[in-house]
């Protein structure tokens, strides 16, 4: 899997991994900006801008964008997180030139006022749709409560109020500041010709503006430690979300943290699975490690019938206290490791999987990591690494939110 | 991609496609039974039985099953549809022997009464969880209304009442009748040794009972044509589901039907996308072709703010009437084709994708079809094939269900 990289004079970084046995390729633009880079007056602008990117450019109407992707059968999409806005397409290799053309073009959107006003409605509908999903809503509010003033607590979607108040010019100024060439990485994986790829990216992106990269407010947090109940009588099940601190994305402890999260709360064969799901005390229970620039966290959640919530919460806290005090067993570590190794191999079998790994490793690990590099990192994690994670990031220091029909729920002990 | 097949004396069929460039393999047991094979007195038994399969055997407790999968890092799961119950695992090839051992063993479950009673709670919780998802609920009820007395209208999950009333002995007798060797296909795809695979399957499944295969009530239907409104004040958005008739899974028209569904309602660049989603009139709108043994259907759905539902429904019916009357354009067909070809190639890049194609083609197409066979079948579809689908299966002969806060909604014209 040969890795290639090239930097354009304007600071745009191009990275690629070629794989001759693939039958397709995937390519993506990773813009290093997200909800944590927003002030309260533009809450939701990164995600709204992601939508506007598909609404047309001086060369293309929204219809042209859609049609040009569809004509080549591209599987294309985009997502916005706290830290990144990523636009990608999976295609048959013969369409590489068209795909680079469209993707590069839309990354310089017109942001027309009438499109902006129309898309506002779509965003507000989307917020309503997510509000209909109780576990997502619990996640969003739990994050807000955990992070408090820390910018990672910003809502990705914003609120109907913040979106309504947002102007086209505010979005344009955010775009001009954040979508500069040095803040963008163009990546590709699969079966394609590297020199031709560089040539195409240079042709379409070589004139993009330079500018500042980086972000403010990068720091760790242990969370607020608060416990809140949001009563939603319309929701049938009780949804509980707990957050504990964890290592940041560039910490050497991230591999151990990932394995620890899996041992506690993978959807099969984990501590929480046996404690809650298998005996039928909850319809779901999960824990997993999430990493960001400068901070990380373990997200633990479960949903159950309301009358069962009190007991389930006690069981979850017992599990977290026990792991904090005694760690996990060698056998649990090995099981989590087997799962992760299998996940890494399977995730790498598609160009899109390698594309995401390539982009995210470049952003967070500051370099290239092959699939085998990742496998080796997980293979070398020991129980002592797990203890280091627990010593530094107390798993039972939880911030929690319950969302559902209950009016109250005893605070975790 | 060499295809291999072998039939054991008891009627169990083994099929495989080996791919030396893969780094993993996937294997699965396809049991040809599902909700359409259930009488009303055992509604939901197929899905409940799928759960019980993971609860242990004479050789393994539920904990052993879980641990034996987890120890080898298997990504394993199962699903139940109207017609099939499928158990599968994606693994690193060095664990093939262990994976066949566990999968084959659990396919002969103990069905212990205490496990059965405990799992009932899980199933009832799962039904509650799905009821919390309005679009799923709308889908389930729309299918019931469309199919009427046709067995494809049976609910996959059953109801809390049918599950509560179900006895362990009823499940056992269903198992003995439907999980017989000739009604099961064992498939594998990826990088592995074929003779060794056959040897393992023979060792573990060679003694399984023979029995009857097939099912009753295989026939076409045009749907009831009814229009119902289910008022759910707790749901925020209105969810509308429309079903029209389509060709069966073994019809030569299935490729044209798939492309037609994509042109009408793919999630980007389709008629419905431009009519409803892009202008912000709905938060989602989809149409797609679903195929079964002996019958097929187009499922069209959208969700929107309640006050918008009346207008949206009119727009959807206009789209369906227009396509019924005028068909689609060559350009729309080509666009849908590019998407499907790309989907087929990308879906084939993982052993799990090939496993599912392998099993389903064996069941519905009565033989092996390579990825290139599929590509050629889609490449050869013409506008005349599309017209044949429309002539035979009127797209605007809809059965519909609206679920949401509205008390009424004018019937489609």
Asked if A98 reaches chain B (Cβ–Cβ under 8 Å), the answer is no
The lowest-confidence range among A5-9, A252-256, B127-131 is B127-131
Question: Residues B218, B219, B224, CA angle at the centre, nearest 5°?
Answer: 125
Query: DSSP for A331-362?
Result: HHHHHHHHHHHHHHHHHTSSHHHHHHHHHHHH
Pairing verdict, β B227-231 and B399-404: parallel
Distances (CA, A) of A329 to A264, A393, B367, B412: 11, 19, 48, 61
Q: Which residues of B touch A75 (CB under 8 A)?
A: 339, 342-343, 346
The mean per-residue pLDDT over the stretch B227-250 comes to: 95
pLDDT, position B195: 97
ipTM: 0.73
Q: Are A59 and A105 in contact (CB under 8 A)?
A: yes
Closest in A277, A304, A335 to B71, CB measured: A335
Q: Are B163 and B48 in contact (CB under 8 A)?
A: yes
Q: Are A212 and A32 in contact (CB under 8 A)?
A: no
The pLDDT tens digits of the residues spanning B20-77 come to 889 999 999 999 999 999 999 999 999 999 999 999 999 999 989 988 998 999 999 9
User: What percent of chain B has a predicted confidence (pLDDT) above 90?
Assistant: 89
Location of structure tokens 């009357």? B325
> How far apart, in whole angstroms, are the C-alpha atoms of residue B256 and residue B31?
28
pLDDT, position B411: 62
Please name the residues in contact with B392: beta carbons below 8 A apart, sequence gap of 6 or more: B247, B253
Mean pLDDT of chain A: 95
Q: Which of A76, A26, A25, A73 is nearest to A50 (CA)?
A: A76
Q: Are A138 and A241 in contact (CB under 8 A)?
A: yes
The pLDDT tens digits of the residues spanning A165-204 come to 999 999 999 999 999 999 999 999 999 999 999 999 999 9
Q: What are the strands, taking DSSP E only, across A264-327?
A: 284-291, 296-304
Pairing verdict, β A184-190 and A13-18: parallel
> How far apart, in whole angstroms, are the C-alpha atoms of residue B378 and residue B340?
8
Quick one: tokens of A312?
């389930």
Q: Are A107 and A87 in contact (CB under 8 A)?
A: yes
Closest in A21, A22, A70 to B339, CB measured: A70
Q: Which residues of A touch B238 (CB under 8 A)?
A: none
Mean pLDDT of chain B: 95
Instruction: Give the number of other Cβ atoms within 10 Å of residue B9's Cβ.
Output: 9
List the catalytic residues of A. Answer: 50
pLDDT, position B413: 45
Q: Is the pLDDT of residue A412 over 80?
A: no
> How far apart, in whole angstroms, are the C-alpha atoms of residue B154 and residue B165?
17
Measure A3 CA to nearest chain B CA, in Å. Answer: 19
Q: A346 vs B269: CB contact, 8 Å cut-off?
A: no
CA closest to B114 among chain A residues: A279
Q: Is the pLDDT of residue A357 over 80?
A: yes
Asked if B338 reaches chain A (Cβ–Cβ under 8 Å), the answer is yes
CA closest to A276 among chain B residues: B122
Asked if A71 reaches chain B (Cβ–Cβ under 8 Å), the answer is yes
Sign of CA dihedral B190, B194, B196, B201: positive
Q: Are A186 and A14 in contact (CB under 8 A)?
A: yes
Q: Is the pLDDT of residue A126 over 60?
A: yes
Q: A90 vs B342: CB contact, 8 Å cut-off?
A: yes
Q: B335 vs A67: CB contact, 8 Å cut-off?
A: yes
Q: Is the pLDDT of residue B202 over 80?
A: yes
Residue A173 backbone class (left: φ over 0; alpha: ψ -120 to 50; beta: rest): alpha
Closest in A24, A283, A338 to B129, CB measured: A283
pLDDT, position A268: 83
Share of chain A residues as helix, strand and coil, in percent rounded to the nearest 5: 50, 20, 35
Instruction: Give the number of other Cβ atoms within 10 Å of residue B8's Cβ.
Output: 18
Closest in B67, B121, B343 to A75, CB measured: B343
Q: B284 vs A129: CB contact, 8 Å cut-off?
A: yes
The pLDDT tens digits of the residues spanning B150-162 come to 999 999 999 999 9
Asked if A164 reaches chain B (Cβ–Cβ under 8 Å), the answer is no
pLDDT, position A413: 45
Sign of CA dihedral B131, B137, B140, B145: positive
Q: B346 vs A24: CB contact, 8 Å cut-off?
A: yes
Q: Which of B259, B336, B341 is nearest to A70 (CA)?
A: B336
Q: B92 vs A341: CB contact, 8 Å cut-off?
A: yes
Binding-face residues of B in 192-251 toward A, CB within 8 A: 234-237
The lowest-confidence range among A2-6, A130-134, A162-166 is A130-134
Asked if A63 reaches chain B (Cβ–Cβ under 8 Å), the answer is yes
Per-residue pLDDT band for B1 (boundaries 50, 70, 90) equals low
Per-residue pLDDT band for A132 (boundaries 50, 70, 90) equals confident
CA closest to B331 among chain A residues: A71
Helix (H), strand (E) at residue B124 = helix B113-131
Asked if A352 reaches chain B (Cβ–Cβ under 8 Å), the answer is yes
CA closest to B238 among chain A residues: A129
Q: Is A272 helix (H, G, I), strand (E, B) or coil?
A: helix
| pTM of structure | 0.84
Closest in B126, B280, B349 to A125, CB measured: B280
Q: A118 vs B279: CB contact, 8 Å cut-off?
A: yes
pLDDT, position A360: 97
Distances (CA, A) of A34 to A137, A367, B107: 19, 21, 47
Measure B69 CA to nearest chain A CA, in Å. Answer: 9
Q: B349 vs A346: CB contact, 8 Å cut-off?
A: no
Residue A65 backbone class (left: φ over 0; alpha: ψ -120 to 50; beta: rest): alpha
Quick one: tokens of A44?
């939701």
Q: Is the pLDDT of residue A1 over 80?
A: no
Q: Which of B17, B38, B41, B50 is catalytic?
A: B50
Quick one: tokens of B28?
């699965």
Q: What is Dmax (Cα atoms) for chain A?
A: 62
Q: What is the dihedral of CA A381, A382, A386, A387, to 10 degrees?
A: -150
Asked if B349 reaches chain A (Cβ–Cβ under 8 Å), the answer is yes
More confident call, A413 vs A303? A303
């Amino acid at each position: 899997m040969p890795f290639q990289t090239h930097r354009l004079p304007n600071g745009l970084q191009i990275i690629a991994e070629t794989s001759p046995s693939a039958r397709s390729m995937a390519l993506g633009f990773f813009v290093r900006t997200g909800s944590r880079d927003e002030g309260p007056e533009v809450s939701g602008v990164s995600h709204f801008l992601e939508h506007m990117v598909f609404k047309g450019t001086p060369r293309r109407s929204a219809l042209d964008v859609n049609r040009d992707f569809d004509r080549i059968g591209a599987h294309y999409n985009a997502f916005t997180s706290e830290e990144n806005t990523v636009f990608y397409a999976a295609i048959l290799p013969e369409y590489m030139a068209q795909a680079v053309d469209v993707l590069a073009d839309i990354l310089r959107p017109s942001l027309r006022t009438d499109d902006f006003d129309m898309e506002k409605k779509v965003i507000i509908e989307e917020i309503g749709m997510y509000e209909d999903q109780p576990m997502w809503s619990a996640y969003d509010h739990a994050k807000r409560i955990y992070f408090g003033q820390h910018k990672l607590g910003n809502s990705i979607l914003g609120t109907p109020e913040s979106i309504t108040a947002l102007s086209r010019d505010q979005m344009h100024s955010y775009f001009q500041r954040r979508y500069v060439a040095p803040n963008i990485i163009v990546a590709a994986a699969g079966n394609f010709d590297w020199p031709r790829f560089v040539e195409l990216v240079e042709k379409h992106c070589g004139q993009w503006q330079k500018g500042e990269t980086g972000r403010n407010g990068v720091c760790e947090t242990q969370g607020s430690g608060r416990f809140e109940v949001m009563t939603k009588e319309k929701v049938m099940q009780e949804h509980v979300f707990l957050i504990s601190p964890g290592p940041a994305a560039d910490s050497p402890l991230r591999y151990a943290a990932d394995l620890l999260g899996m041992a506690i709360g993978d959807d099969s064969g984990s501590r929480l699975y046996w404690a809650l799901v298998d005996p039928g005390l909850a319809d779901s229970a999960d824990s997993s490690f999430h990493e960001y620039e400068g901070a990380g966290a373990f997200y633990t959640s479960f949903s159950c019938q309301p009358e069962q919530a009190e007991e389930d919460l006690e069981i979850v806290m017992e599990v977290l206290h026990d792991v904090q005090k005694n760690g996990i067993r060698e056998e649990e570590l090995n099981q989590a490791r087997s799962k992760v190794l299998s996940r890494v191999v399977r995730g790498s079998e598609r160009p899109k999987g390698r594309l995401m790994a390539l982009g995210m490793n470049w952003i967070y690990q500051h370099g290239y990591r092959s699939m085998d590099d990742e496998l080796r990192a997980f293979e070398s994690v020991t129980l002592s690494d797990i203890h280091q994670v627990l010593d530094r990031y107390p798993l039972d220091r939880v911030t929690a939110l319950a969302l559902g029909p209950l009016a109250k729920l005893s605070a975790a002990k």
